[in-house]
């Protein structure tokens, strides 16, 4: 009979920097400023789920998502332009 022994490799200890609650809160606020509202996140998540499930091809899902972003930005720009013109 043959026995095999395995030894765990020595791994160095890596210390992580301490992050205060205030710093973590600022990071979360910064991330939220780049993310779309929750209802749009659900839309994009559903679009991704359809692509993963194979119900639509991923290039189609990407095109729909990008088109939605462009349309939302164009709508926002036209609203801000109208607000400036009326002021």
**Alpha-carbon separation of residue 87 from 7, 20, 77, 79 (angstroms):** 74, 43, 15, 12
Is residue 72 a part of any domain in this protein?
A: yes
Is residue 41 a part of any domain in this protein?
A: yes
Is residue 24 a part of any domain in this protein?
A: no
Is residue 17 a part of any domain in this protein?
A: no
Structural domain span for residue 48: 37-86
Is residue 7 a part of any domain in this protein?
A: no
Spatial distance between the Cα atoms of 33 and 9, rounded to a whole number of angstroms: 43
Spatial distance between the Cα atoms of 59 and 65, rounded to a whole number of angstroms: 10
Is residue 46 a part of any domain in this protein?
A: yes
User: pTM higher than 0.75 for the full model?
Assistant: no
Classify 54 in phi/psi space as left (phi over 0), alpha (psi -120 to 50) or beta. Answer: left
DSSP, res 18: P
Q: In the prediction, which pLDDT does 36 show?
A: 82
Mean pLDDT of 39-68: 95
Average pLDDT, the chain: 87
- Structure confidence by residue, pLDDT tens digits, 3-30: 888 888 888 888 888 889 999 999 999 9
CB 72 within 8 A of CB 58: no
The total domain count for the chain is: 1
């Amino acid at each position: 009979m043959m026995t095999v022994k395995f030894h765990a490799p020595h791994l160095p200890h890596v210390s992580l920097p301490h992050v205060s609650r205030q710093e973590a809160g600022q990071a979360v606020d910064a991330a939220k400023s780049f993310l779309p509202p929750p209802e749009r996140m659900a839309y994009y998540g559903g679009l991704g789920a359809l692509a993963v499930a194979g119900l639509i091809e991923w290039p189609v899902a990407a095109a729909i998502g990008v088109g939605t972003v462009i349309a939302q930005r164009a709508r926002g720009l036209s609203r801000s332009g109208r607000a400036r013109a009326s002021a």
